[in-house]
Structure 1
Amino acid sequence: MSAHGQLLPRSSPRGSGMSARAVGLLLDRLEERAVECHSIMVVHRGHVVAEGWWAPYSAERPHLLYSLTKSFTSIAVGLAISDGLLSLDDRVVDVLPDRVPDGISERARRLTVHHLLSMAVGNREDSLTEAWQLEPDDLVKGFLRTPFPDPEGTRHVYDNSTTYVLARMVEKVTGRDLPGLLDDRLFTPMGIDHAEWDRVASGAAFGFHGLHLTTEAVAAFGELLLRGGRWGDRQLVPRDWVELATSRHIETLPLPNWSQNPDFLRGYGYQFWISRHGYHGHGSYGQYCVVVPEHDLVIAATGAVDPTDALPGLFWECLFPGLDDPGTAKDDELLAERLQQLSLPPVTGSAGPGHPVEAKADGSAADSPLTDGTAVLVEPLDGGWLVRLGDAVEIAVGHGEWRESSPLGRPIVATGAWQDDRFVADIYVITTPHRVRLVVEAGTAVAAWNVVPLTGPSLAVHVTAPLMTRPDVS
């Protein structure tokens, strides 16, 4: 959060004309549907009326946004266009001529900023894996080498590569890297001073994923969009770009391996999804920035759920009926108490033996966070444990509490306990949706992710700062 304080003003639900019971109903439905949330913030009529974090997640922590990052890249494109440095009709091959491989197709040569923004480049599946395989050191070249069987502009196919290429085009025409541009033009004027970015091996920001922001910063971004790009007395983003980016440009089809969520089947803008109500930016495992202009409503949420049909539909179902029903002061009080007590379940059990326990990791399972044979040591320490994984990673684990450590630069929060003859610990990579459950029993340690990071399963990679990687291309 900004050193100057909160980004958005606060109000009680009742003070903004909204029912606290509606927010309580949303919390009930999330629990009933087993939707794991890490944070929720509801902004109505310009004021935060409800905010909560499920411990160990907390207000000051940035959270990995995954593909919600794409919506911020869209704003960077709009800034470059408003500065006269780029246009919707500019072709990739003209803006990035030094990254065009020999022998690409005529369809690849015709691809423009508009086609990339609307993800209508003529492919039939996400090109990311193939593009990395074709050109491991340059995704732009790899993307241009992939096949484009359909005419550009005719079909939407969700494609991470398109946003990566857009980021590089913005950087080329502005002479700024994407994080620096957004810091100067968006984040710093808004009072957001903590934006963090994951990067590919070359050092470039992904653009299609990798931005970390606090929940309030995401909500403030939604409020900026709702206000037509205006923040206070400054027009940070041209209103016409906000309107264009959040308008429907192409029909959307069901995403592979997803439920047929009606809020992803209403069309696609420029790196924004058109919803049944308003529009939203979305990132894997439940990262949302939802904007509903008709109700003067913004909802920001983070979490760790697999692709689901629960959201954003539960927002409509639960919150809309309460938007014109202010309820009572007692309702507000009960909601505030409930929001303060949100928590993910801690590991329960005893303090166990008072001596160190050694094990070897069984890393044979697919997507294991640990390499097979990794030495694991569980050592009692001051009402908790120090867990050593190999030679480099030492993690503080609390008993009945969460403890924080940063063995390789990125913060980890962990809690654990002995359950009979098994030691169980939950290890949160706390600025992401991801955690590892470690079970040590009879000399063997088994680790598993709650949801596997899209940039690969190695725990060591994801607790190292800065994170510089690329998606696996197995």
Structure 2
Amino acid sequence: MTLPRSTPEAQGVSSAAIVRFVDALERNLHEVHSMMLVRHGHVIAEGWWAPYRADLPHSLFSISKSFVSTAVGFAVDEGLLSIDDRVVDLLPDDLPEVVGDNLAAMRVRHLLTMTSGHSVDTVDATSGPEQNWSRAILALPVEHAPGTTFVYNTGATYLLSDILQRATGERVLDYLTPRLFEPLGIAGATWEQCPRGIDVGGWGLSITTEHIAAFGETYLRDGVFEGRQVVPAEWVRAATTLQVENGDPGAADDNTQGYGFQFWRSRHNTYRADGAFGQWSIAMPEQDALLVITSGLDDPRALNTVWDHLLPVLGGVEKAPDATGVATLADRLGTLSLALPDGSTRSLTAQRVSGVQYALPKNSLGLESVALTFDGDEARLTVVAERGTDEIVCGSERWAPGESTLLADAPAPAAAAGAWADDDSYLVTVFLTTTPFSVTLVLDFRDDEVTLTVEQNVSFGPTRLLHTVGRRV
């Protein structure tokens, strides 16, 4: 699958304006991983910040919810579900002993619109000992009458995934494959599953940037992709228009503009599929434009950069060709890179500590020892942990590709670089290149000890993961 490409000017946008937008992204947002801009159905700008690449999937987090919504739309169209079906009728084996009036009144539409009646997100129930996540969620109090209170609720999307699997006999991933993924040319999609083999729904889908763009374009065109009606048009309109209010629509806040069926309404009459840490598919119908961004951000004001620097330049008609502007934009997008560790490539300390193993006290990350082995300007970081050993090549003034288990249970694609922050401290940054996440390790060598600090770029919890002292073995 390849979306058609075009020059910005042919689609009414100045190449120089896009360069300025990219400059603003890098100035205002500390960690963008990819960007794809589509106008009039044509990709007019695309870029990946090294070490991220076009061929690598990226964790979408809650953009996954919009795909679950699409699956519900197919099931409704095929007569397998109704949005007015009661949840208690669809999940009869998972109900608590006493079913209260509010739970009894909960319907599929309430799960879709985040108005299930719960006071808090029910996803925390999935982290307990109960292997049946639906049972754990449905056992929680439903404090409000469904449909009356908006509370963002990832647990509600999991219930939709379970309902879909029961109604269709397939995982959501498998159900969507012939209906959505294959028509859009989306190959290699993966989705995390719960202990019972149900796709987790509200997060866990991984696809590439261009796959996200194909999905967003299909919605922008009322469900049509390459001349074929892929998603029912009626569902597209219902899912992306305001179904419930969720705050003050007059506020300068993109999270209070209303909510559809697992899509957010945004300012400027736009809507978006939105995932944690800056995963966005932003549809701008009045401008006939779509912007996809993947990133590792934790800034609720990040969308302001889009509204301030991109939206104003999307209203034009075809412009005169600008070969120089196109070349400048191509060069800008072709040389994108995340910031390498700042420091020196050499230190006298390297010779003293190279190959030395430092044992670590028992810690929350399960790390047992660390060692740095230097070969010229580059290093190999060896991390021995309870779950195995990582051998991470740390590029010097480059991102060295490899694998890591630092934030994963199994080896995951990664890229790392290192530098001496000062004469005694070596800094390593490791990007998990199919996720928003990176880890920075600082090894501060003093005599026969190393002080190890491990920090994560973004997290749902603390970002400082470890600060400990290891001794030379």
Change (3 A) 1:89 1:153: same
Q: Name 1:412's counterpart in structure 2.
A: 414
Q: Identity, % of aligned pairs? A: 37
Q: Distance in 1 between matches of 2:30 and 2:131?
A: 37
Q: Choose between structure 1 and 2: higher strand proportion.
A: 2
Q: Distance in 1 between matches of 2:211 and 2:464?
A: 28
C-alpha contact (below 8 Å) 2:359/2:368 kept by paired residues: yes
Q: Distance in 1 between matches of 2:8 and 2:300?
A: 28
C-alpha contact (below 8 Å) 2:457/2:463 kept by paired residues: no
User: Which among 282, 291, 296 is matched to residue 288 of structure 2?
Assistant: 296
C-alpha contact (below 8 Å) 2:125/2:133 kept by paired residues: no
User: Which among 209, 232, 240 is matched to residue 234 of structure 2?
Assistant: 240
C-alpha contact (below 8 Å) 1:119/1:156 kept by paired residues: yes
Q: How do 1:240-319 and structure 2 match up within 5 A? A: 240-253=234-247, 262-276=253-267, 277-311=269-303, 313-319=304-310
| Deviation for aligned residue 1:53 | 1.1
User: Which among 414, 432, 435 is matched to residue 432 of structure 1?
Assistant: 435
Mapped pair 1:157 → 2:151? yes
C-alpha contact (below 8 Å) 2:110/2:146 kept by paired residues: yes
Q: Distance in 2 between matches of 1:83 and 1:454?
A: 41
Change (3 A) 1:189 1:423: same
Q: How do 1:25-104 and structure 2 match up within 5 A? A: 25-104=20-99
Change (3 A) 1:233 1:362: farther
- 1:425 partner amino acid: V
Q: Distance in 1 between matches of 2:47 and 2:225?
A: 24
**Where do 5+ consecutive residues of structure 2 fail to align?**
405-409, 467-473
| Deviation for aligned residue 1:26 | 1.8
User: Which among 396, 399, 411 is matched to residue 399 of structure 1?
Assistant: 396
| Deviation for aligned residue 1:360 | 4.1
Q: Distance in 1 between matches of 2:244 and 2:440?
A: 41
1:209-245 deviations in whole A, cap 9, x for unaligned? 0111111111111101111111224222111111111
Q: Name 2:471's counterpart in structure 1.
A: none
Q: Distance in 2 between matches of 1:219 and 1:376?
A: 41
User: Which among 191, 194, 200 is matched to residue 194 of structure 2?
Assistant: 200
Q: Distance in 1 between matches of 2:345 and 2:324?
A: 39
| Deviation for aligned residue 1:204 | 2.7
In the alignment of these two chains, the number of paired residues is 443
Mapped pair 1:20 → 2:15? yes
Q: Distance in 2 between matches of 1:362 and 1:15?
A: 61
Measured on the aligned residues, the alpha-carbon RMSD in Å equals 2.4
User: Which among 122, 125, 137 is matched to residue 127 of structure 1?
Assistant: 122
| Deviation for aligned residue 1:380 | 2.6
C-alpha contact (below 8 Å) 1:22/1:321 kept by paired residues: no
- 2:396 partner amino acid: H
Change (3 A) 1:163 1:455: farther
Change (3 A) 1:228 1:34: closer
| Deviation for aligned residue 1:199 | 2.7
- 1:305 partner amino acid: L
Secondary structure of the structure 2 residue equivalent to 1:149: coil
C-alpha contact (below 8 Å) 2:454/2:464 kept by paired residues: no
- 1:21 partner amino acid: A
Secondary structure of the structure 2 residue equivalent to 1:164: helix
Change (3 A) 1:381 1:202: farther
Change (3 A) 1:172 1:395: same
C-alpha contact (below 8 Å) 1:361/1:444 kept by paired residues: no
- 1:154 partner amino acid: T
TM-score, normalization by structure 1: 0.88
Mapped pair 1:447 → 2:442? no
- 1:15 partner amino acid: A
| Deviation for aligned residue 1:410 | 1.5
Secondary structure of the structure 1 residue equivalent to 2:237: helix
Q: How do 1:202-217 and structure 2 match up within 5 A? A: 202-217=196-211
| Deviation for aligned residue 1:316 | 2.7
1:233-269 deviations in whole A, cap 9, x for unaligned? 4222111111111111100138xxxxx7522211000
Change (3 A) 1:126 1:334: same
- 1:317 partner amino acid: D
C-alpha contact (below 8 Å) 1:263/1:274 kept by paired residues: yes
Q: Rg bigger for which structure?
A: 2
C-alpha contact (below 8 Å) 2:28/2:305 kept by paired residues: no
**Where do 5+ consecutive residues of structure 1 fail to align?**
255-259, 460-474
| Deviation for aligned residue 1:362 | 7.1
Secondary structure of the structure 2 residue equivalent to 1:399: coil
